[in-house]
């Protein structure tokens, strides 16, 4: 990407391949063309970048957290407090985020820290590609970063460098007054922000036409019971609004604006569109203990950030039809407490670890199922464990094997069941073969073991043995 700065055409951004070829941001376009032949150069289009960034921010708002802001030219700020539990934990959320972005074609780096400034700096200078700083560890993590990480103007950074400042630590150790006298208050402000000494509000983007209700209090509230009571009232109000539009919520955000301008968030998701006051109140009240009211909450905002049409359904009235108990309430409660809830559906694959997939708990019934003519173990190891095995070639079951240092003598065995590699997935699997045996030892324990390869052709597999499951 090439942009214009003054009269010169400079490289503004480059992809990984270009960086590997020796190009750097800030080079002139003419020089790069001299360095690398047939280089693809495109003009920088800042407006389109900005529009794309806005769209991405909306995507984050819909998928991750209720407070999201754009940080042009290339950043997005997310307040993850109160939203990470829906994805397991902070690390899982970040890795998931990066993987999903990668699937969309973005190279992303992300960091979570205590302050906006620190996350901004760490994502750009330390994250590879993600970094989670535990609570309270932020100052130690940022002190060794270069001063460019402070979000100062380029000119300011250059003049600080001239004076010999390289790291934030050095700047932090310098008396504040002379710095402010010479460079203005900006440095001190940024330092305070990165070291969590000053609050930095995030100005969140709000999608239009979102259904929300708010309640401002004359006196700030902080007791859990009071919050719960007002949450109940807000839920009732929002359910009224939803009913007018024929909608049900899939995701509900409770934003608690504190008197010290901080915002605390509780987010609750549901598996199906819901408009039930009691259920929604319970989901939100379940997490009230995660709200830190500080000096008090002055405004409560409840918004249905994702709503879907909810039609009235007639309940079973005939005597023949059996009513199926609705478990979606339970699913919501469990999912909002941070547990993963899912069902397992069959995938048409003979390779055991690929023969199933996780589907949402309320997905349609899976009609496919697995073939039943071979016995299958009840426990499958996610990672097959190598075993040492003595077996006559080419296709006899093993005579004895050693697993986790214990020798098992095989008394009875069944097999082989031959599983061929899935050549349409990977070239390597074109000739790959696994021979599965179920074996029983003297004590009656039954194992599911396999040999990599057919025992005759070296290219079908190495011939080493693995244990993959336990029969009951």
Partner 1 sequence: MQNRAPNVGIEELRERIESLGGSGLRKREVLPFGIASIDRHLPGGGLALGALHEVAGGGNGALDGAAAALFVAGIAARIHGKILWCLTRRDLFMPGLVQAGLSHNRVLMVESLDEKGVLDCFEEGLRCGGLGAVVGEVARMTMTSSRRLQLAAETTGVTGIAIRRWRRQSEASDYGHPTAAVTRWRISVVPSEPLPVPGIGRPRWYLELLRCRAAESADYVVEACDAQGRLGLSADLANRSPSQDAWAASANR
Query: Which residues form the interface with partner 1 (CB under 8 A)?
Result: 88-89, 325-327, 329-331, 333-334, 337-346, 352, 355-356, 358, 361, 365-366, 369-370, 372, 375-382, 411-414, 438-440, 442-446, 469-472
Nearer to partner 1, 295 or 370 (CB): 370
At 214 the three-state DSSP class reads strand
Q: What angle do CA 10, 16, 22 make, to 5 degrees?
A: 60
Contact yes or no for 60/76 (Cβ under 8 A): yes
Nearer to partner 1, 244 or 289 (CB): 289
In the complex, minimum distance from the CB of residue 327 to partner 1, in angstroms, rounded to a whole number:
5
> Strands, E, within 80-230: which ranges?
110-112, 130-132, 211-221
Supply 200's token pair: 């930095």
Nearer to partner 1, 56 or 345 (CB): 345
Distance CA 395, CA 97 (A): 46
In the complex, minimum distance from the CB of residue 268 to partner 1, in angstroms, rounded to a whole number:
15
Distance CA 183, CA 188 (A): 10
Nearer to partner 1, 75 or 361 (CB): 361
In the complex, minimum distance from the CB of residue 435 to partner 1, in angstroms, rounded to a whole number:
16
In the complex, minimum distance from the CB of residue 163 to partner 1, in angstroms, rounded to a whole number:
49
Contact yes or no for 365/359 (Cβ under 8 A): no
In the complex, minimum distance from the CB of residue 102 to partner 1, in angstroms, rounded to a whole number:
24
In the complex, minimum distance from the CB of residue 36 to partner 1, in angstroms, rounded to a whole number:
47
Nearer to partner 1, 60 or 450 (CB): 450
In the complex, minimum distance from the CB of residue 459 to partner 1, in angstroms, rounded to a whole number:
29
At 297 the three-state DSSP class reads strand
186: Cβ contacts below 8 Å, ≥ 6 apart? 152, 153, 156
Residue written as token pair 């301008």 = 261
- Tell me the CA distances in angstroms from 456 to 398, 415, 435, 451, one per residue in order: 16, 16, 12, 12
DSSP letters of 421-450?
--TTT-GGGGS-EEEEEEEEETT--EEEEE
Nearer to partner 1, 60 or 403 (CB): 403
Contact yes or no for 38/48 (Cβ under 8 A): no
Nearer to partner 1, 200 or 440 (CB): 440
């Amino acid at each position: 990407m090439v942009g214009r700065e003054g009269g010169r055409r400079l490289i503004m951004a480059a992809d990984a391949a270009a960086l590997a070829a020796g190009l750097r941001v800030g080079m002139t376009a003419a020089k790069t063309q001299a360095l690398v032949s047939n280089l693809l150069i495109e003009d920088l289009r800042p407006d389109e970048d900005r529009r794309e960034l806005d769209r991405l921010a909306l995507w984050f708002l819909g998928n991750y957290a209720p407070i999201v802001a754009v940080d042009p030219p290339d950043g997005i700020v997310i307040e993850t407090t109160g939203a990470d539990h829906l994805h397991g934990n902070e690390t899982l959320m970040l890795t998931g985020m990066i993987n999903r972005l990668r699937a969309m074609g973005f190279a992303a780096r992300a960091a979570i820290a205590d302050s906006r400034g620190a996350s901004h700096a760490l994502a750009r200078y330390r994250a590879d590609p993600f970094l989670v700083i535990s609570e309270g560890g932020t100052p130690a993590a940022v002190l060794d970063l270069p001063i460019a990480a402070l979000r100062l103007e380029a000119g300011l950074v250059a003049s600080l460098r001239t004076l010999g400042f390289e790291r934030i630590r050095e700047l932090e150790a310098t008396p504040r007054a002379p710095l402010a006298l010479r460079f203005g208050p900006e440095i001190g402000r940024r330092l305070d922000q990165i070291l969590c000494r000053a609050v930095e509000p995030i100005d969140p983007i709000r999608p239009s036409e979102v259904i929300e209700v708010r309640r401002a209090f004359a006196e700030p509230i902080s007791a859990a019971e009071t919050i719960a009571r007002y949450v109940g009232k807000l839920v009732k109000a929002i359910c009224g609004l939803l009913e007018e539009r024929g909608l049900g919520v899939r995701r509900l955000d409770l934003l608690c604006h504190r008197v010290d301008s901080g915002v605390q968030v509780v987010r609750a998701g549901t598996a199906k569109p819901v408009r039930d006051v009691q259920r929604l109140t319970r989901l939100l009240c379940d997490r009230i203990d995660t709200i830190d009211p500080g000096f008090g909450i002055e405004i409560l905002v409840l918004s249905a950030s994702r709503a879907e049409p909810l039609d009235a359904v007639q309940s079973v009235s005939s005597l023949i039809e059996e009513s199926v108990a609705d478990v979606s309430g339970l699913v919501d409660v469990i999912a909002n407490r941070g547990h993963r809830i899912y069902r397992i559906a069959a995938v048409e694959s003979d390779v055991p670890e690929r023969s199933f997939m996780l589907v949402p708990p309320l997905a349609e019934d899976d009609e496919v199922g697995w073939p039943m003519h071979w016995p299958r173990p009840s426990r499958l190891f996610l990672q097959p464990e190598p075993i040492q095995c003595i077996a006559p070639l080419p296709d006899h079951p093993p005579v004895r094997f050693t697993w986790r240092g214990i020798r098992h003598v095989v008394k009875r065995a069944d097999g082989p069941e031959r599983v061929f590699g899935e050549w349409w997935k990977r070239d390597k699997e074109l000739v790959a073969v696994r021979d599965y045996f179920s074996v029983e030892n003297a004590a009656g324990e039954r194992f599911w073991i396999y040999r990599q390869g057919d025992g005759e052709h070296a290219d079908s597999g190495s011939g080493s043995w693995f244990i993959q499951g336990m029969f009951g």
